[in-house]
Amino acid sequence: MRDSRRGSTLEPTSPDSAAQDNGWGQVTFAINSILQIAAPMLLRIDVEGHDPLFIDFRHGAFVWATDLNELPVDATNVTFETEQALEGAPPLFRLPGYSLDLLLWVLGNNAYRGHLAPWLRPGERYRLYQWPNLGQHLHEMTQTQMLAVLGNGYFSPAELAVAAGAPVEEAYNLINALSLLRLLRVSEDVAPLVVPSAPTGQKDKGASLFARLRARLGR
């Protein structure tokens, strides 16, 4: 396919198919790969049944006719076309578009369906070093609780789920999203943070794992 504004051929890309088992996983893997490239990149993603999704990484922006609140359950027949932007080239679309962070948040939370993203490794623990801008991100109270926990120590997804009293699938999804947003510190050498057990028979809300963790960490 040829980009008529630049007169340069867009090269199709194909992420490692063994790392993904669904269309959104392929999309998210491709975006994560491009985020690691220092050169200014442009990306077009075609998903069957939808208008093209365009991303201009130079400006951290995207445009897509599909509402992210109505993200389809799966993406089928996905194709990718990338191009390195020429110096001084005009934006890929009319700016400002939409913040790329919002797309990363939604894809990270939905692409791998309760499994670790393929660029993350089992055995790693994660700590939040900067909160996402929740004003522009779709989020729930459970995610806010997990973010608070991640701000106080290193956790694996399973440990995070226990400490925040959240479903383990949601912990994996959140870790994936925060990793995609480059908001995590990663370590394989940190011992797990042990959350003290609740006193026998104590049933009030203050005895929850999340409340006890906050009390221990002075939050």
Residue of 130, 162, 133, 135 lying closest to 146 (CA atoms): 162
**Per-residue confidence (pLDDT) for residue 70, from 0 to 100:** 74
User: Could you tell me which CATH class the domain 125-216 is placed in?
Assistant: mainly alpha
Q: What whole-number distance in Å separates Cα of residue 80 and Cα of residue 46?
A: 7
> Is the separation of the CB atoms in 193 and 154 below 8 Å?
yes
**Per-residue confidence (pLDDT) for residue 49, from 0 to 100:** 85
Q: What whole-number distance in Å separates Cα of residue 55 and Cα of residue 114?
A: 26
**Per-residue confidence (pLDDT) for residue 140, from 0 to 100:** 78
Tell whether omega for the bond before 96 is within 30 degrees of 0, i.e. cis.
Answer: yes
Region 67-85 average pLDDT: 83
CA distances from 104 to 114, 126, 166 (A): 16, 18, 22
Query: Where does residue 165 fall: left (phi above 0), alpha (psi -120 to 50 degrees), or beta otherwise?
Result: left
pLDDT-derived band at 141 (thresholds 50, 70, 90) equals confident
Higher-pLDDT residue of 210 and 127 is 127
Local structure of residue 207 (DSSP, 8 states)? G
| Length reported for the chain | 219
Q: What are the residue ranges spanned by the domains of the chain?
A: 2-110, 125-216
Region 124-142 average pLDDT: 83
**Per-residue confidence (pLDDT) for residue 16, from 0 to 100:** 41
Query: Which two three-digit tokens encode residue 217?
Result: 């960490």
For residue 199, pLDDT beyond 50? no
CA dihedral over 166, 169, 170, 176, signed as positive or negative:
positive
For residue 176, pLDDT beyond 70? yes
For residue 1, pLDDT beyond 60? no
**Per-residue confidence (pLDDT) for residue 21, from 0 to 100:** 62
Indicate the range of 121-125, 179-183, 186-190, 214-218 predicted with least confidence.
Answer: 214-218
**Per-residue confidence (pLDDT) for residue 8, from 0 to 100:** 36
> Is the separation of the CB atoms in 204 and 168 below 8 Å?
no
Indicate the range of 12-21, 78-87, 93-102 predicted with least confidence.
Answer: 12-21
